[in-house]
């Protein structure tokens, strides 16, 4: 080490001075024993909360047997999880990864290979939407398209064209005979919880069909029960050709997946793609345990019920404190409040009430409760949020003319 005064971590995060030691359901407990109500959930990762007994048992049992084998062998846990994922989605095939960005990389490669094996290698371009977030690898920052993620990292990876969010005419105009696919988040997460309308999603599906291009969904944040359906695109009654998932499926264990139809994935033959850790037995044990819980008939109706309670509570806050918050955003438990004051100010006020949330683009405060949040816990969260908003309101009274 050359300079002992330098912090040993990259300074890529402005970290809050909170050190969590333990988790229990929707609660996180600091090294000082303070309890925080966790409506950030590791940014939509801890779908079943912290320390869920079924997940803990699954991981411990697997840890006693086998941690890692190469993907040059058959991995029964992968076959089991892939079978369950395909039985419950549009997809026929799954490729497991360790993260969302890797799932997106696989999705992009799958789309390009599809056209390549169809004899149209010139069709490699992917259309994305502004406000998108697809990850931090070189290709996914190009797909994301925002200058703040691209600056200083050399030439932007070629092959991504961005159109304004929700602009159907611009989208149609952007489709060329080099277009391989359209990539979108059905509800933009980082971008400020902006959902595509169901009509727009159906129109995009039609546009893809009319032009022989692939529809790629990034459901890394919106998927795995988060919006009250297993996947957010289901609300629109359409299916993609390829889908990237991660976050919730691992419940806190690093796990992602790229799902595709047999047709869309036909170019991904032996040797074309690979991963050392993706689909590792520990990850498969946890992923299967997450589905054990989520595939229960009562699970998604519960998510929808909690979402409704929060939405009503948020609406009431907007009525009473229009000087602080102005709009409910999102779908299901991928929900947020558009702020009138800076969202960082509301985030801090909420933290002062020992509750965790996250910011999102467009000055939104994002709330990502664990999907197992009970009615009582949802009301406790609303109470804390209200106290925070009320306190800000006293400090920022409505300006009258």
Q: Which residues belong to the annotated binding site for pyridoxal 5'-phosphate? A: 100-101, 133, 218-221, 276
Q: How far is the CB of 281 from ligand PLP (least distance, A)?
A: 20
Q: How far apart are CA 233 and CA 126, in angstroms?
A: 19
Binding mask 305-344 for ligand PLP (x = CB under 6 A): ----------------------------------------
363 lines the binding site for ligand PLP (CB under 6 A): no
**Contacts for 212-215 with beta carbons within 8 Å, 24 or more apart?**
213/123, 213/175, 213/179, 213/180, 213/181, 213/182, 214/111, 214/114, 214/180, 214/181, 214/182, 214/240, 214/241, 214/242, 214/264, 215/181, 215/182, 215/240, 215/241, 215/242
Residues 6+ apart with CB under 8 A from 151: none
Element (H, E) at 335: strand 334-339
SS3 11: coil
Instruction: Name the nearest CA neighbour of 212 among 237, 183, 175, 164.
Output: 175
- 287 in contact with ligand PLP (CB under 6 A): no
Site for ligand PLP contains 131 (CB under 6 A): no
Report the residue from 23, 25, 49, 135 that binds ligand PLP according to the rule CB under 6 A: 135
Burial of 64 (0-12, 13-18, 19+ CB in 10 A): exposed
CA dist list (Å): 60 to 21, 51, 64, 286: 19, 12, 6, 10
Q: Which stretch binds ligand PLP (CB under 6 A): 58-66, 79-87, 131-139, 265-273?
A: 131-139
Collapsed DSSP state (helix, strand, coil) of residue 305: helix
**216: which 2 tokens?**
């790629």
Task: Tell me the window of 48-56, 132-140, 304-312, 389-397 that interacts with ligand PLP (CB under 6 A).
Answer: 132-140
Would you count residue 189 as binding ligand PLP (CB under 6 A)?
yes
- Give yes or no for residue 100 binding ligand PLP (CB under 6 A): yes
Give the binding range for ligand PLP (CB under 6 A) out of 21-29, 96-104, 278-286, 318-326: 96-104
Among 58, 91, 246, 282, binds ligand PLP (CB under 6 A): 246
364 binds ligand PLP per the rule CB under 6 A: no
Tokens of 266: 């036909």
Cβ proximity of 219 and 185 under 8 Å: yes
Does position 187 bind ligand PLP by CB under 6 A?
no
Cα distance between residue 238 and residue 42, in whole Å: 29
307: part of which helix (H) or strand (E)? helix 299-320
Annotated binding site: 100-101, 133, 136, 218-221, 275-276
Q: Which stretch binds ligand PLP (CB under 6 A): 118-126, 214-222, 233-241, 365-373?
A: 214-222
Nearer to ligand PLP, 335 or 392 (CB): 335
Instruction: Give the interface segment with ligand PLP, choosing from 130-138, 205-213, 375-383, 387-395 (CB under 6 A).
Output: 130-138
Indicate whether 196 belongs to the interface with ligand PLP (CB under 6 A): no
CB of 149 to ligand PLP, least distance (A): 11
Residue 274: exposed, middle, or buried by beta-carbon count in 10 A (0-12, 13-18, 19+)?
exposed
Residue 225, interface with ligand PLP (CB under 6 A)? no
Task: Characterize 370-398 residue by residue with b for buried, 16 or more Cβ atoms within 10 angstroms of its Cβ, and e for exposed.
Answer: bbbbeeebbeebbebbbebbeebbeeeee
Does 133 participate in binding ligand PLP (rule CB under 6 A)? yes
Nearer to ligand PLP, 102 or 377 (CB): 102
Sheet of 93-97: strands edge to edge? 93-97, 256-260, 242-245, 214-218, 179-184, 125-129, 160-163
Minimum CB separation of residue 401 from ligand PLP in Å reads 41
| DSSP assignment letter at 166 | T
Task: In whole angstroms, give the CA distance from residue 364 to residue 370.
Answer: 19
Q: Note whether 134 binds ligand PLP by CB under 6 A.
A: yes
Binding mask 43-82 for ligand PLP (x = CB under 6 A): ----------------------------------------
Q: Which stretch binds ligand PLP (CB under 6 A): 1-9, 167-175, 208-216, 217-225?
A: 217-225
What is the number of the residue whose Cβ is closest to ligand PLP?
100
Binding residues for ligand PLP, rule CB under 6 A, total 13
| Residue numbers at the binding site for ligand PLP (CB under 6 A) | 99-101, 104, 133-135, 185, 189, 218, 220-221, 246
């Amino acid at each position: 080490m050359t300079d002992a005064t330098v912090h040993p971590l990259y300074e890529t995060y402005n970290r809050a001075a909170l050190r969590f030691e333990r988790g229990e359901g929707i609660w996180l407990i600091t090294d000082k024993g303070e309890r925080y109500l966790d409506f950030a959930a590791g940014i939509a990762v801890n779908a079943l909360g912290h320390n869920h007994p079924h997940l803990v048992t699954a991981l411990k049992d697997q840890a006693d047997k086998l941690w890692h084998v190469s993907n040059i062998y058959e991995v029964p846990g992968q076959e089991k999880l892939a079978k369950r994922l395909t039985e419950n989605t549009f997809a026929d095939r799954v490729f497991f990864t360790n993260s969302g960005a890797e799932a997106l990389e696989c999705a992009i490669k799958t789309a390009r290979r599809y056209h390549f094996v169809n004899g149209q290698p010139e069709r490699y371009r992917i259309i994305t939407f502004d406000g998108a977030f697809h990850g931090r690898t070189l290709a996914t920052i190009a797909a994301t398209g925002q200058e703040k993620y691209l600056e200083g990292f050399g030439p932007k990876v070629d092959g991504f064209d961005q159109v304004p969010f929700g602009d159907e005419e611009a989208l149609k105009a952007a489709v060329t005979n080099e277009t391989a696919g359209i990539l979108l988040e059905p509800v933009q997460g980082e971008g400020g919880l902006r959902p595509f309308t169901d009509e727009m999603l159906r129109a995009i599906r039609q546009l893809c069909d009319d032009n022989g291009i692939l529809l790629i969904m990034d459901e890394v944040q919106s998927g795995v029960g988060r919006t009250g359906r297993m996947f957010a695109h289901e609300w629109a009654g359409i299916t993609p050709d390829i889908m990237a998932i991660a976050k919730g499926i691992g419940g806190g264990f690093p796990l992602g997946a790229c799902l595709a139809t047999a047709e869309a994935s036909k170019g991904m033959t032996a040797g074309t793609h690979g991963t050392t850790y993706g689909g590792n037995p520990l990850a498969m044990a946890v992923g299967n345990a997450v589905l054990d819980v989520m595939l229960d008939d009562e699970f998604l109706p519960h998510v929808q019920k909690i979402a409704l309670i929060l939405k009503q509570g948020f609406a009431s806050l907007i009525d009473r404190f229009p000087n602080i918050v102005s709009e409910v955003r999102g779908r299901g438990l991928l929900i947020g409040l558009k702020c009138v004051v800076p969202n960082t100010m509301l985030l801090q006020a909420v933290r002062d009430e020992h509750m965790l949330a996250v910011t999102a683009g467009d000055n939104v405060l994002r709330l990502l409760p664990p999907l197992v949040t009970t009615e009582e816990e949802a009301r406790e969260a609303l109470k804390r949020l209200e106290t925070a908003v009320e306190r800000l309101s006293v400090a920022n009274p409505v300006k009258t003319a």
